[in-house]
Structure 1
Amino acid sequence: MAKSTPATLALQKAKVAFDLHEYDYDPNAERIGMQAAEALGIEPARLLKTLMAKAGDEIVCVLAPSDREVNLKKLAAVAGAKHAAMLAAADAERITGYYVGGISPFGQKKRVRAFVEQTALAFPKVVCNGGRRGLQVELAPADLVRVLDAKAAEIC
């Protein structure tokens, strides 16, 4: 299977060093991020799930450790909105250009504001989706923040 995705191309264009990790994606997994972490033998706290949400009227990208849940009140507060909600899967796919289970924060069709759980930045490397099901990219958290212009905050 091709390893080049809009996400990996965006990282290459930004001159980011990253490693690719492939695994057998389980479409029936209850928690996709946890399944990826287990399949790759990576601690769930540093494997970030990519979620798409709506904060007020704005679509945002949220990166959270795969073993934690996003607190929507905290997300709304850091986004400067009164409320926040997760997007429906079909909306997330339409907006990002990726399929659920393969949504990467990098190379999305439309660039949106990104928020990352600040505790994840303590790791020397973090892992997030590489733009297709069964593909993850590992990179320095500083590169993730820089490329996405992400705001680190307590969102879980």
Structure 2
Amino acid sequence: MYAQLATRSAYRDGLVGNWFDYYKNKLRYLGWDSARPVRPEQAGQGLMADSVSRQISQSFGGSFSRQASHALGALERNPEALEVFERTSLLRDTGFFQVIPCTSKSSGKIEIGLYHKQFRTRRTVSGFLFWPIEEVVESSQEEMAVVTFSTLHYATFRAKVAAAVIAETNRHLHALEL
């Protein structure tokens, strides 16, 4: 969450050229291993959520796909959460979001699938995830990578990371419009 908030803030302020590269660098700062790029399958047509699930399934495999589909289904069933997700993912005619399923790799290691989608809309929209892509999206780019996170290695940096996460979270909370 910290890496996403920090990246979103830097991107919004014009400090970041490539969202996904900056995000991966933030993860590396937190002690995550280097990301292995994964070539995304074609986005296809239909509902954006279904397209995302297909891409994750075809590129990462079943264990990642089940978790991603479950998370997207939970968003569909919770209108308030969906509204927050879509509102924070859109900036004028541009949208970007991540789906980040994870699975246990071995003792002390977690494998994380990073799915990043960035798109331009055909018109001003307030929702996109459960709308047909061809009606909403003018152009899109997907980037994917697999990152291994060592929970044992993380313990070394825990205090430093916790302080950075708390500072960024507080900054984000103060910036929220109430």
Give the TM-score category using the shorter length.
Answer: 0.3 to 0.5
Kindly indicate which of the two structures has a greater share of residues assigned to helix: 2
- The normalised TM-score by structure 2 is 0.41
Q: Which has the higher contact order (CA 8 A, sep 6+)?
A: 1
- The normalised TM-score by structure 1 is 0.45
